[in-house]
Structure 1
Amino acid sequence: MNRFDFIFMLTRNDRTVADAAAHVGTALASGIRHIGFKDVGLPFDALHDLATRIRHGGATTYLEVVSLDRDSEVRSVEAAVGLGVDYLLGGTHVDDVLPLIAGSGIRYYPFPGRVVGHPSRLEGTEAEIVASAVALVAREGVAGLDLLAYRSSLDAPSLIAAVCEAVPKPVIVAGSVTSPEQVRVIRRAGAAAFTIGTSALDGRFPAAGPALAMQLQAIDSAAA
């Protein structure tokens, strides 16, 4: 991961979309080199196909865990290991995950704070989320954090800045990023990357048009 990256998620409302494979080609042709998907929405064989397409296109692969119960998260992490993804984002059951990914080379970025519901929401005070972030990055095997800043009722810019200042490891801001101004805020706060899925697939990011290639170009330019 470079200093500031855009990660395109093949997802809508925290689910991998049925036509994700077609979008991989568009993303790669648009020069996007960080592409991910969620652990829900498609069966393992389809996720394996996605990971293979992304990897063969020269891009970095990300799987984000949004399942909330322990057993589902464990199954998703086992799938991530089987898929050989580069990054494992999200999830909350750190004690169960770390032994599963040991020795795999997967870089693990769990959610700090209290995450509920689907689509995922972040709850707690800023102080509680920062304390959770500090505790997580102290764990061996945790490479960074996946922060749902814009899925919180808190002031997102303040929360991002507080978490980035408190931890020595990279922070990815995930969820509900829909504008160039949010991208600029995330960058100024010191985050390493951000994810966008729904707003790009639905043509809602300010761009020359709603077509996915136009959306990705606009987002990538906002991150430059």
Structure 2
Amino acid sequence: MTRLDFIFMLTRHDRTVPDAIDHVATALAAGIRHIGFKDIGLPFAELRTVHRLIKAGGATSYLEVVSLDRVSEIASVRAAIDLGVDNLLGGTHVEDVLPLLRGTGIRYYPFAGRVSGHPSILEGSVAEIAGSARAIANRDGVDGLDLLAYRSNTDAEALIAAVCAATDKPVLVAGSIERPEQIAAIHRCRAAGFTIGTAALEGRFPASGPALRAQLDAIAACL
């Protein structure tokens, strides 16, 4: 099997945390090379600093959109373009976003399926979500999918497997991942990667201790 990408999100409960700048340094020191944040939680000037530090440390950057209305999502996309992030995750207004991203070089991973609420949840059956994934992934300009598998009412592993089978494009599993068994399932299903934020920042992941460095080391050991 190919190696999974672990994307460390500087977020708690779908918001970028106030001390994100400090956590960037810890993550880089732990060898984490995929680091992301959300479009809410910090003033834009601070997000710019966070992004600058991620890139200066040699890591790949990700901005995940959690706004579900069209106007807010477009504003978030424009922020991602302004920052110059490497990857844009999430969002549901694919038709509106694709023209904005054209020519920017930003890789785009919109949500598969029907997403609602904050923190976001994924609605629908495995078949419905896989069908949505196939249709979205077939769009030119869509580089992969953002899948909230562990925030759905389905069998999460069956859902990940179905979505990965629906497209050759990479699938990133996001949200509510906090156990090694979940990472193992994501790997078995051949997803490209996963995100963890809250579980690491709150010391929930099984590790030698709750400190962020111990959490990141334990997660990285699952890859």
TM-score normalised according to structure 1 size: 0.98
Mapped to 2, the partners of 1:190 and 1:161 lie a distance apart of 8
Q: Which residue of 1 aligns with 2:124?
A: 124
The answer to whether structure 1 residue 73 and structure 2 residue 73 are counterparts is yes
Q: Output the CA distance in 2 between the equivalents of 1:206 and 1:222.
A: 11
Which residue is equivalent to 1:43? Answer: 43
Partner of 1:101: 101
- 1:145-197: CA deviation from partner (whole Å, max 9, x where unpaired): 00000000100000000100111100000000000010000000010000000
Amino acid at match of 1:188: R
SS at match of 2:104: coil
CA shift in 2, pair 1:173/1:23, >3 Å: same
Separation (CA, whole Å) in 1 of partners of 2:36 and 2:144: 16
Question: Which amino acid in 2 is paired with 1:164?
Answer: C
Letter of the 2:35 counterpart: I
Aligned positions of 1:72-91 closer than 5 A: 72-91=72-91
Alignment of 1:208-223 (within 5 A): 208-223=208-223
Check if 1:6 corresponds to 2:1. Answer: no
Task: Tell me by how many angstroms 1:4 deviates.
Answer: 1.3
Secondary structure of 1:175's partner? coil
Matches within 5 A, 1:138-177: 138-177=138-177
Distance 2:167 2:3 in 1: 15
State the alpha-carbon separation in 2 of the partners of residues 16 and 91 from structure 1. 16
What's the secondary structure of 1:63's corresponding residue?
Answer: strand
Q: One-letter code of the match for 2:29?
A: A
- Give the number of aligned pairs: 222
> 3-state SS of the aligned residue for 2:215?
helix
Supply the RMSD in Å over aligned alpha carbons. 0.7
Separation in 1, partners of 2:144, 2:187: 16
- Percent identity of equivalent pairs: 68
In the TM superposition, what is the alpha-carbon distance from 1:43 to its structure 2 partner?
1.4
CA distance in 2: counterparts of 1:34 and 1:50, whole angstroms: 13
* CA shift for structure 1 position 44: 1.1
CA distance in 2 between counterparts of 1:44 and 1:74 reads 15
* C-alpha displacement of 1:3: 4.1
Residue type matched to 2:141 in 1?
G
* Whole-Å separation in 2 of the counterparts to 1:42 and 1:152: 28
> For the residues of structure 1 that align with 2:193 and 2:48, how far apart are their CA atoms?
24
TM-score, normalised to structure 2, is 0.98
Letter in 2 for 1:147: L
2:67 match: secondary structure: coil
What SS does the corresponding residue of 1:27 show, helix, strand or coil? helix
Aligned to 2:182: 182
Which portions of structure 1, spanning 4 or more consecutive aligned residues, are displaced by more than 4 angstroms?
A: none
Return the alpha-carbon distance in structure 2 between the equivalents of residues 163 and 217 of structure 1: 29
Tell me how far apart the structure 2 counterparts of residues 45 and 135 of structure 1 sit (CA, whole Å).
Answer: 36
SS of structure 2 residue aligned to 1:222:
coil
CA distance in 1, matches of 2:138, 2:190: 19
